[in-house]
Structure 1
């Protein structure tokens, strides 16, 4: 066997060994190498594994005296060499389902080979219960998911390169409100994926405040002659935690008190609104009192609006009044469209 063939066989062997906690015994590795076209006896294979363990973080487990040796990479080994195990493949397949609706195709393209490996691994399990994995697993959003807007080809790559290599870019950007094309020099500081839309967090021209620029509104992106202006104190984690994507009304949280349906209370018991959330026993009307400290932002109020009569706010008063005004507008509009309450229908 030539040195070239030996090298290819060694690379194939390194790819076939899984990362802990998964393991593969010598017999299985021998069979998998044969399927890939490499003919080698088990003694040579065992010698290869011993030699490789001196250069790579490989461990060998022998449970009984005559039992096959089982090989694995150590759990913390960061490399694409270890064979993909079923749990990792299933996770990646579910992640792909979720990310496909959130990231532009060009962004997923950078990991498409790894995603394809995951699907290939699961599809190969003909004798395993996961052989038809695509019919048994799904990743779905909670609530209505909107269709992601189209991002122009090349925009994602240019933005990512600018962000990671820290250089300014000149862009043509479509304004949301004026719907006009604007020319900016942009200094990207971060990138956030929120629902179906990706946002570039950046300073613009000579301004120092962080702006949110929707990725799909970029029309052109070119390297700028301007020097990149970093924001050393900017933390994307702090920016998000401060509620900048939730349309804050006030930086101080509010105490939310509401009477809610029992089925909603059950859901919130499992997935609370806040760490200090309290739920009472059902009252005579079958409602549960909810108390929780929540951000004072429009996002929380929008979520409550979606609950309808299942979520009757008592405090804060501003939210109670806003929801009551919304209900009055909905009722007034329904009446103009021919709606009549049941009591009025009975008396007419």
Structure 2
């Protein structure tokens, strides 16, 4: 009985480890991952499981165009383990609605089976009226959002593989400054999605500085035969915090002080500017005194600027001051 249970759990684990098309997993990598999870199996037994067991009952495909062979499921294959419930399905629908305006279609397509399952579940709930969910659910972006830049699905697959497996990339890249295609060997260090563009952060050739490469300008990409070089001094959070994407105006945070109207005070109570924020009622007034520690970058200041203009238009007393960050107590 224990051997049967061991085999069953191994099959379930293999189903979790094999990706849908266009993803691939090679036999040696799959064997290594099974060993990491404590399963005792050799290469020949693994190949027999894949070919003679799982492939008979699941849409499992072997890519034998090169060695080692690589395995994947049909793109439309889906497996509901565990089964979706209604709150989870609605969460997925909202996530899809929101992400469509943020991430490129190639990236969204990676989650298409999960989104499709969520919609199918909600469509089938005719008995309780939830079949009308499509008329009742929307995700609205904050402000005008540009349509995400498009790039090829294979570019995403190769970039994701290189980033996760610490591999170098040989790319053909369209330079915006010269409007010409150039060839580089990139050493991926991070990936950032900002507004409508997804950026690969990488060092180039033998240089050590981090550069940003928009994925939609990568015209060709293959795994390089060159060894990947890690940038040991690179930290993604520090890179972002230091203004790589936020147009930093200074290294220190800023203390914002302003008198705000009741409507704005209510909004900031529900959705604060930062974790360090206070709102204190002003004497003999419906207005409140706002104090908050915020990042000192242009993006933050542009968010703050609009309410300040509104306050000025109302001809109410206010002031906006910038100081080094202080403890607000």
- TM-score bracket, normalised by the shorter chain, equals 0.5 to 0.7
1:97 CA displacement: 1.0
Q: 2:321 aligns with which of 300, 307, 315?
A: 315
**Which residue of structure 2 lines up, in the alignment, with residue 112 of structure 1?**
112
Give the Cα–Cα distance (whole angstroms) in 2 for the partners of residues 144 and 308 of structure 1. 20
**Which residue of structure 2 lines up, in the alignment, with residue 173 of structure 1?**
173
**Which residue of structure 2 lines up, in the alignment, with residue 245 of structure 1?**
245
CA shift in 2, pair 1:219/1:238, >3 Å: same
Where in structure 2 are the equivalents of 1:1-348 lying within 5 Å?
80-282=80-282, 287-307=287-307, 309-310=309-310, 314-316=320-322
CA shift in 2, pair 1:80/1:126, >3 Å: closer
TM-score by length of 1: 0.62
1:270 CA displacement: 1.5
Give the Cα–Cα distance (whole angstroms) in 2 for the partners of residues 305 and 184 of structure 1. 41
Give the Cα–Cα distance (whole angstroms) in 2 for the partners of residues 215 and 223 of structure 1. 15
2:105–2:150 Cα contact (<8 Å) kept: no
Structure 2: gaps spanning 5 or more residues: 1-7, 13-78, 312-317, 324-329
Give the Cα–Cα distance (whole angstroms) in 1 for the partners of residues 207 and 303 of structure 2. 33
1:282 CA displacement: 4.5
1:256–1:313 Cα contact (<8 Å) kept: no
TM-score by length of 2: 0.65
1:187 CA displacement: 1.0
Moved more, 101-110 or 289-298: 101-110
Give the Cα–Cα distance (whole angstroms) in 1 for the partners of residues 302 and 194 of structure 2. 16
Q: Secondary structure at the match of 2:304?
A: helix
Q: Secondary structure at the match of 2:119?
A: helix
Q: Secondary structure at the match of 1:264?
A: helix
2:191–2:199 Cα contact (<8 Å) kept: yes
CA shift in 2, pair 1:176/1:260, >3 Å: farther
Structure 1: gaps spanning 5 or more residues: 1-6, 12-78, 318-348
1:106–1:157 Cα contact (<8 Å) kept: no
What's the C-alpha RMSD, in Å, of the aligned pairs?
2.8
CA shift in 2, pair 1:116/1:166, >3 Å: same
Give the Cα–Cα distance (whole angstroms) in 2 for the partners of residues 211 and 259 of structure 1. 41
Give the Cα–Cα distance (whole angstroms) in 2 for the partners of residues 190 and 99 of structure 1. 20
Q: Secondary structure at the match of 1:201?
A: strand
Give the Cα–Cα distance (whole angstroms) in 1 for the partners of residues 299 and 227 of structure 2. 36
CA shift in 2, pair 1:143/1:280, >3 Å: same
2:106–2:152 Cα contact (<8 Å) kept: no
Q: Secondary structure at the match of 2:200?
A: strand
CA shift in 2, pair 1:119/1:258, >3 Å: same
Give the Cα–Cα distance (whole angstroms) in 1 for the partners of residues 129 and 190 of structure 2. 42
Give the Cα–Cα distance (whole angstroms) in 2 for the partners of residues 148 and 309 of structure 1. 30
Give the Cα–Cα distance (whole angstroms) in 1 for the partners of residues 211 and 319 of structure 2. 33
Choose 1 or 2 for highest CA Rg.
1
1:126 CA displacement: 0.7
Moved more, 158-167 or 103-112: 103-112
Q: C-alpha offsets along residues 193-233 of structure 1, whole Å, 9 cap, x if unaligned?
A: 22322121222222223222222222222232321112345
1:122 CA displacement: 0.7
